[in-house]
Amino acid sequence: MKCVTIVGARPQFIKAATVSRVLGFNPHITEILVHTGQHYDSNMSEVFFDELEIPRPDYHLGIGSGPHGSQTGKMLEAIEAVLIHEEPNWVLVYGDTNSTLAGALAATKLHISVAHVEAGLRSFNRQMPEEINRVLTDHSSDLLLAPTETAVKNLLHEGIPENKVHLVGDVMYDAALYYGAKADTHSQILFKLGLSPKSYILATIHRAENTDDSLRLQAIFQGLIQVAQEIPVVLPLHPRTRKALERENLLSEISESLLLIDPVGYLDMVMLEKNACLISTDSGGVQKEAFFYRVPCVTLRKETEWVELVEMGWNCLTIPYSREQIKKGIENFLHQFPANNSGICGIYGEGIAAQKIVNLLS
């Protein structure tokens, strides 16, 4: 059996690493890895393949960035050519990026079965391009691999046949278990930055809804500047966010108040997450990783796909409308962290999601 895996962005490299490792143990499955090039910076891409021990891609499409329609269209054309040449039994896609949607559409039009890892997540905000990608990919897929009970309910509510939906757990939890200990022994990021454990806040900002909205962008970073007057704020700066800050002439001011660093590899990011006293982010993956390492998280959005974390008190939603709101949301949650520790075991599986996925593909 042959499986083509489509990846293109950092979170997908992490998810694919866990599944590819298990696929490698099955002599009856051949995996062909396709990297769309959606993340093409070496810090955003190549270092992940090294650290996660992912085999080099069989195909690197080199699409790069661009408007959503243009980028997705170029990916669709290039992926289609690969699939025609390889003739796989399955196409495996991850998450909610343009690479995900392009892979699913290309396979569906060629009548190749699609398996979607992380199926069923919903923010119920159709203004988010990720939400559109999730919905369209789920309704194009033959095997929907859901990470949580909530995701399963979302899919069934949308009328997707029950026999296509499988609760497998979260491959990100697999990765946290596997790579967490490795980060402790391999990462030197705290030493390099002069940081002590639990002495700083880690922030990540990259979603278009925050970077492309001038008022939101200013509110977020002015709020973080105010927070940084009390406790250091470390921010690995995403290329999209850097461009947005340069556009608004904010980069030099922010550089004086926050500890801005280039995007880091996965092991360094894990180390920064594990040792932060709080994480503030608009990333879905980072929200979960914060929980895996039992660090409180303030999400700078009005909704989240990971509703379980809010319900249990590990995650606090703060809408980035004003600097005062950002500062208050972060400081209140930091000093009054009310997490509920009951029922936290098992909500994302037992750390064997990748094995369950490979079993279903087989």
Encode burial over 192-224: b for 16+ CB neighbours within 10 A, e otherwise: eeebeeeebbbbbbbbebbbeeeebbbbbbbbb
Return phi, psi of residue 197, to 5°: -55, 135
DSSP string, 309-332: HHHTTSEEE---S-HHHHHHHHHH
> What is 258-290 written as a DSSP string?
SEEE----HHHHHHHHHH-SEEEES-HHHHHHH
Find out whether 290 and 215 touch, Cβ atoms under 8 Å: no
Catalytic residue (choose from 35, 39, 116, 206): 206
* Residues 319, 137: Cα–Cα separation, whole Å: 28
The span from the CA of 84 to the CA of 86, in Å, is: 6
Whether residue 206 lies in the annotated active site: yes
Separation CA 245–CA 251 (nearest Å): 5
The residues assigned a catalytic role are 206
